[in-house]
Each structure stands twice: as structure tokens, then as C-alpha cells.
Amino acid sequence: MSQTQTLAPPPVDEWLMSQTAPPWTPNLETYQGGYSIRMVTPIGRMSFVHFDKPKSKAADSKPVFSCNLLMSPNSVQDIWQAIRMVADAMYPAEQVVDPKTMQAVTMTGSQMLANNVGGLHNPLKNGDLYYMKAPDKNGAYRGVWTINPSSGADKPPACTNESNMPCSPATFYSGCYGRLFIRIASIKPRPGSAKGVTAYLTAAQFVRHGEKMSGFDAGGAAMSAFANAPLPAGAVQSSAPPGGIPGAPAGFAAPPGGIPPQHAAQPPAGFAPPAAGAWTPPPGAPR
């Protein structure tokens, strides 16, 4: 059809956000002088999506393809496990200062991340930190965890739709639901570089439309502008062009009165929620 009707989806699909990543067996690989694990993330909301063309994260950084994936604190256990495994492989024993006792102690990479010592970079961030910096702009970050994988300007991510068929990068936007295929990796050792763990972007899958988080809504602006500038009386005669709408089936008169709900009110038959207490949450994660 050449005409569609869009109904606003709920602000956050709680059931969809509660889904964990597919079952997996972590495979630790050597990578760029360190270690990495490739994995599929759980479903989350995407923010600051740059899949169509690379963009610099800072004024002095190179352009990259990237996005923030906002995830429920109850669905990030696999990502946290991968980060800890990579950190332990890269930093099996490091001398650090215990901030509680101010004494030198030996810790593994995962212990340093869990205790926030040693200056190791952790790609999994508490969304509340973003929210507190700008509550008026980052309301969607409250109560979630986020990861921001990226890939070089010469490595655009492979993009697929909900049927796992190739799709345009323009399909994705800030607020849609999706998941990522990423590589959790130790930061390549080099003089003057940071230490720790990072995340690289390989592919993205669109899952479902969602409420846009930010940005200019051209459609909404047009409707508002035209609503305030009505057409002259008698100008509107028909919404269809002479001869009907090209390509429409015989007898087509108007778009349907609604679309299927864009969220599942109930989980599908046979769905079993993840077992509680089966993982150690990241430091500061809501319990």
C-alpha cells in the first residue's frame, strides 16, 4: 500500500527488554596481542545510532560506526561474564593499591573491574551515570545498562531486519529495539594507551520499532505546521488521486484502522524467565 497508519508504541517494551541473549558458550580467542570473545547481545533500545556513515565520538577522534545499546540490568549477565573473562586473560595478576587500606595488593582483571581500581576501562556502563549528567536529555538511560561498541570507518556493520534479511542502515534510529553482534576485546597494548576491555561492532539486527528518543521529527513537525495552516474551504475533495491510488488492490479506499500491537503483552507459550541469582551483577547494578 502507498499509505500507512502509524500508532505510537509504548515508551518502553518491558517484556522485550527482559529477554536475555541466546544461549552461548564463550570462546576466548587471541586477538591483536590480547584476547576477545564474540557474542550476540540481548535485545535493547538503540541510541546515538551511526550505521549509515561513520561519525567521530569526540573532536580529536577518528570517525567510527557505532551506537549505544540500552539493556535491562537483568539481561546483561553474559556481557559481564565475557568482559570478566577477557580481563582475567589479559591481566591475570596486577599490582594495585586497595583504596580501602591504601596497601598494595594483587588482583586479577575481573577483580579490578569489580572493585573499580587499577584504571581498567569497562565497556559496560551504568546508564544512571548518563541520566544524572543530563536528566532532561537522558531519561531513557535511567535504570538501564549500556554498551557502546564501534567499528572503523572502513568496516560498516552488517545490518539485518527482524527476519534476518539484509536491510538498509537507515532502518535503525534512536529508540528502536535491536541487538548487536559484538566482539568483547582487551584494548590493544601500545605506549600511552588505556588499559582494559572494549567492544567492537560487527553487525546489527533490527527487532521492533520504538518511541524515538531524540532528534528532529520531520513528520511530526510537518503535521503540526500544516495543522496550524489549514487549506481554504472546499479545497479538499478526495484523498486519492484521479483513477485511484496507483498499485493499490481493486476496491482499496483507505488504510486500515490500526496496526498490530508493537509489543507483546504476554510472553510466548513455553517462555521461561532467566533464573534469579545465577550471575554476579556489575558493580552498582540495581538489584
Residue 186 confidence (pLDDT) above 70: yes
- Which amino acid belongs to residue 263? H
Burial tier of 195 (Cβ tally within 10 Å: 0-12, 13-18, 19+): middle
Residue 89 confidence (pLDDT) above 90: yes
Residues with Cβ within 8 Å of residue 286, at least 6 apart in sequence? 73, 143
Rounded Cα distance between 142 and 129, Å, is 8
Burial tier of 18 (Cβ tally within 10 Å: 0-12, 13-18, 19+): middle
Residues with Cβ within 8 Å of residue 262, at least 6 apart in sequence? 7, 9, 10, 13, 208, 209, 210
Task: Read off the pLDDT band of 38 (50, 70, 90).
Answer: very high
Helix H or strand E encompassing 212: none
Helix H or strand E encompassing 14: helix 14-17
Query: What confidence tens digit (pLDDT) does each residue in 138-161 have?
Result: 889 999 999 999 999 999 999 999
Rounded Cα distance between 195 and 122, Å, is 9
Query: What confidence tens digit (pLDDT) does each residue in 166-179 have?
Result: 999 999 999 999 99
Residue with the three cell numbers 520504538: 210
Query: What confidence tens digit (pLDDT) does each residue in 202-231 have?
Result: 999 999 999 888 644 444 455 555 666 666
What's the rounded mean pLDDT across residues 96-114? Answer: 90
Residues with Cβ within 8 Å of residue 7, at least 6 apart in sequence? 258, 259, 262
Residue 236 confidence (pLDDT) above 80: no
Task: Read off the pLDDT band of 10 (50, 70, 90).
Answer: low
Residues with Cβ within 8 Å of residue 198, at least 6 apart in sequence? 121, 123, 184, 185, 186, 187
Q: What dihedral angle (degrees, nearest 10) is formed by the CA atoms of 188, 192, 195, 197?
A: -40
CATH classification number, 28-208, choose in 2.40.50.140, 1.20.1250.20, 3.40.33.10, 3.30.465.10: 2.40.50.140
Higher pLDDT, 86 or 231: 86
Rg (CA), the chain: 23
Residue 54 confidence (pLDDT) above 70: yes
pTM of the model: 0.72
Rounded Cα distance between 47 and 176, Å, is 8
Residue 196 confidence (pLDDT) above 70: yes
Task: Read off the pLDDT band of 284 (50, 70, 90).
Answer: very low
Task: Read off the pLDDT band of 276 (50, 70, 90).
Answer: very low
